[in-house]
Amino acid sequence: MAPSSGLCPKVITANYYESQDLASKFTGVPHQSELGSSSQDEVKGKHHQVCLPEADSALSPEEAAVEEVGHPAKMTCLEGPHSNQGPDKSCGPMAPEEELVSASQLEEEEENEEEEEDLDPDLAPDLEEGVDEEEEDLGDPAILSAVTNTQRGLPSSPGIKASGVLGMSPASLHFLWQTLDYLSPVPFRPTRPGTSSPVRHFGPRLLPPDPYVFCSPPTSWSPRFSLPSHLTQLHPQHQRILQLQQHSQTPRPPAKKPWSRQSDAYANLMTRKEKDWVIKVQMVQLQSEKPCLDDYYYQKYYQKLEKKEADEELLGQRSKVESLKLVTPYIQKAEAYESVVRFEGSLGQVAISTCFSPRRAIDAVPHGTPEPEIGAASSQRLRVLSWIEKMFLQLLEIEEGKKNGPPQSCYSEQQRNQVEKLFQALKTQEQNNLEEAADGFLQVLSVRKGKALVARLLPFLPRDLAVSLLLAIIHHLPLLVKRDAADQVLQMLFKPLGKYISHLTFHELLQGLQGLMLLPPGSSERPVTVVLQNQFGISLLYALLSHGAKLVSLDPSLEEPSSDHTAWTDIVILIAWEIAQMPTASLAEPLTFPSNLLPLFCRHVDKQLVQQLEATMQ
């Protein structure tokens, strides 16, 4: 057996070192190597069988694939070594392994060579003849415990996630990990002379049919491994692996895994193929044409996760760790088929059962019978809500179009049409009367979602439409404020509206504000007071006043005495008076405080009032 002189990729060498180290400690390591090549024939006599643990069911396909790449020695030639030991021994406990074996595949010959050459020379000098029989029995628990160790160890291994790339180094890393994993539970081996006979009982003990096993703790195992010193003989890396695997505060001897040994006799009843099949079926159910819509939350979550990881990587906080993403299969939607067949002149429908509609015998979908009008308030509310939902869908389409399309501020013709349509829908709500239309708009705004809808629609609207919305809102401000008392979400409208305030002409502004000043019949309180008590209201008011002041200062013609000007001054004085009147506590905190308000008040109002205003407003 040629020594591993020719191969020195770094990892393999390291592995060589490791196994050499281990080999010195653990004589008679039971392992089964890949004996595919002819050069191994001479080794057969020594039964150097490296059992590289089969990927357990818990592993992902990528890991398994990597493993298969990295550990081709999956006991495919178990028959070889078995033949030396006789078939009877290989039957019972080996049966599951053979299943394991048959399930795996040889991937790369080169890896075979490397691994064998690595391990065999290490362990060749250490094996004795008597190991043979032991190995059969020992092989089992060793393998099984190795399997469980991989089961446990792998989730904590850092290199796993990068194993999407089936390159050499991840494979080698895996191999290294696997071997170390595998070899780590072996520590009790040195006591072989003492444990040889009880160890032999492992074989039959593997298949106890009784359920008592999981009721009682593994007391039966403890006498076998009563030597605590085995832990100290571990290679430091093995110790680390062990600690990782244990996941518990109290250290316990690693041999206490009776359930694993026992169940692994029945393990992989569900083969890899079957698991893949189940997963395939589940994936088929997940397929969709537009995952961004259908699976919105997961896609957004994954984007956030990726961004976070990229940031962390950028900051150097941790090495690149790729988290896996669920990739749903993309399948062209099957074109619609007719599940109901009608013959000409027949009075009925032929029942065709397909996989999508096994029992669909008649067309059970109702055709356009309009719902009878119910005058109840709840139905009205429901109607408003459903209307908002429909508009929201349109809005989402518009937003989607903006997101997907080229980032430009001028919208395509189609988008503009959509926006127009939506606006019309919003304003009119299929009502002919203007009053009712305004009322409808108000109802939309009374609902939290409606406010969100308007807030999100405003950036898309052309100037004049947006201004009309703004005016409508100003006009109905007291009502909105009253209705918003429960939700307090009018604030979301402030930012988009604020942009359009600056587009208002002086005249429009006056009109809007005058509406607020009018004393409603039967009440001594002006609408302004209510507005001032609400955060959104007061912010909007301040913004309007500030805009008015700006307009006046910019356009000297407005300074001249005119009806507009007097109206403006009246409004300002009135508002100032109202603010001063109001107790400071009930005055809401505005979202923004424009700087030209106080000077505005100074100009039109006497000093005393201004001082009062200063006090209240700050």
Partner 1 sequence: MNYMPGTASLIEDIDKKHLVLLRDGRTLIGFLRSIDQFANLELHQTVERIHVGKKSGDTPRGIFVVRGENVVLLGEIDLEKESDTPLQQVSIKEILEQRVEQQTKLENEKLKVQALKDQGLSIPRADTLFFFFFFFNIFY
By the criterion CB under 8 A, which residues form the site for partner 1? Answer: 56-63, 210-211, 213-215, 217, 248, 252, 259, 263-264, 266-270, 274-275, 278-279, 281-283, 285-286, 298, 301-302, 323-326
Tell me the closest approach of the beta carbon of residue 305 to partner 1, in angstroms: 10
Q: What is the bridge-based pairing of β-strands 349-351 and 340-342?
A: antiparallel
Q: Which two tokens stand for residue 110?
A: 């080169």
Comparing CB distances to partner 1, the nearer of 267 and 469 is 267
Comparing CB distances to partner 1, the nearer of 17 and 214 is 214
Tell me the closest approach of the beta carbon of residue 170 to partner 1, in angstroms: 15
Comparing CB distances to partner 1, the nearer of 61 and 405 is 61
Query: What backbone phi and psi angles, to 5 degrees, belong to 230?
Result: -65, -25
DSSP 231-271: HHTS-HHHHHHHHHHH-SSS---TT--HHHHHHTTTTTSS-
In terms of residues, how long is the chain? 618
State how far the Cα of 528 lies from the Cα of 577, in Å rounded to an integer: 11
Residues 6 or more apart whose CB falls under 8 angstroms from that of 210 comprise none
Residue 86's identity, in one-letter code, is G
Residues 6 or more apart whose CB falls under 8 angstroms from that of 103 comprise 54, 268, 271, 272
Comparing CB distances to partner 1, the nearer of 256 and 402 is 256
State how far the Cα of 440 lies from the Cα of 427, in Å rounded to an integer: 7
Comparing CB distances to partner 1, the nearer of 190 and 291 is 291
Beta bridge partners of 341: 350
Tell me the closest approach of the beta carbon of residue 97 to partner 1, in angstroms: 15
Comparing CB distances to partner 1, the nearer of 295 and 399 is 295
Tell me the closest approach of the beta carbon of residue 68 to partner 1, in angstroms: 15
Tell me the closest approach of the beta carbon of residue 267 to partner 1, in angstroms: 5
Tell me the closest approach of the beta carbon of residue 247 to partner 1, in angstroms: 9
Q: Is 317 in a helix, a strand, or coil?
A: coil
* Ramachandran quadrant class, 462 (left: phi over 0; alpha: psi -120 to 50; beta: rest): beta
Give, for 42, the enclosing helix (H) or strand (E).
Answer: helix 41-44
Q: Which two tokens stand for residue 72?
A: 């081709």
Tell me the closest approach of the beta carbon of residue 90 to partner 1, in angstroms: 23
Tell me the closest approach of the beta carbon of residue 278 to partner 1, in angstroms: 6
Tell me the closest approach of the beta carbon of residue 147 to partner 1, in angstroms: 10
Tell me the closest approach of the beta carbon of residue 306 to partner 1, in angstroms: 12
Comparing CB distances to partner 1, the nearer of 325 and 507 is 325
Comparing CB distances to partner 1, the nearer of 64 and 447 is 64
Comparing CB distances to partner 1, the nearer of 266 and 337 is 266
State how far the Cα of 611 lies from the Cα of 598, in Å rounded to an integer: 10
State how far the Cα of 358 lies from the Cα of 339, in Å rounded to an integer: 10
Angle between helices 131-156 and 192-200 (to 10 degrees): 90
Rounded to the nearest 10 degrees, how much is the dihedral formed by the CA atoms of 176, 178, 179, 184?
120
State how far the Cα of 477 lies from the Cα of 468, in Å rounded to an integer: 14
Comparing CB distances to partner 1, the nearer of 302 and 593 is 302
Rg from Cα positions in the chain: 40
